[in-house]
Structure 1
């Protein structure tokens, strides 16, 4: 079973990403639109994978991911953002994609990272 935490403050994009990842093997999802919300959600439902925006309603996706990973250990992450230059800290093993969504590339990266 692959549980994905989607950290995204635009609901339609979050739902689009859910559909994309479900088509690529994810079985369950949690959602958060803020840094603190993402951290709290990860404590309730530990994610096997994280897909995150950078700019959120409060805080940032990279800082949320950093906090989650420091608490729960290594979790693969893909960042999807309109501002990849603002993706900090987004060091590997994270992968960064620019919006608008490149669905085939994101799906392929998800499958590769999940299999690793």
Structure 2
């Protein structure tokens, strides 16, 4: 399975990759900004998107919406700004930073059920 990780902090992106690898994901694309995320999703369609909200350039919420407008994809937000996500996307699955493996596992399970 392939995951797109939208995160502008390198160490956080690596942590997410490690945790998703433990959950069975085998390949990854990375993006640090909104336009890069859209380009990465077009280059290789992901099975899952994880996204921060505040990026180096642009917004993770907008990136996910642009990607899903083209190809609906399971997604979740991994962010320190959960309130911002809840205001714009009340039904979104959110993992609050800092997060643990159990938090990520539960969120991936939840978005996977929704996609079925």
Q: TM-score, structure 2 length as denominator?
A: 0.90
Q: CA distance change for structure 1 residues 85 and 112 in 2, over 3 Å: closer, same or farther?
A: closer
SS in 2 for 1:6: strand
| RMSD of aligned alpha carbons | 1.4
The structure whose residues are more often helix, as a share, is 2
Tell whether the 8 Å contact from 1:24 to 1:111 is kept in structure 2 after alignment.
no
Structure 1 runs, 4 residues or longer, greater than 6 Å off: none
| In 1: Cα distance, 2:112 partner to 2:20 partner | 11
Correspondence for 1:18: 17
Displacement, 1:112? 4.1
Tell whether the 8 Å contact from 1:63 to 1:89 is kept in structure 2 after alignment.
no
Tell whether the 8 Å contact from 2:76 to 2:111 is kept in structure 1 after alignment.
no
SS in 1 for 2:3: strand
Query: Unpaired segments of 5 or more residues in structure 2?
Result: none
Query: Unpaired segments of 5 or more residues in structure 1?
Result: none
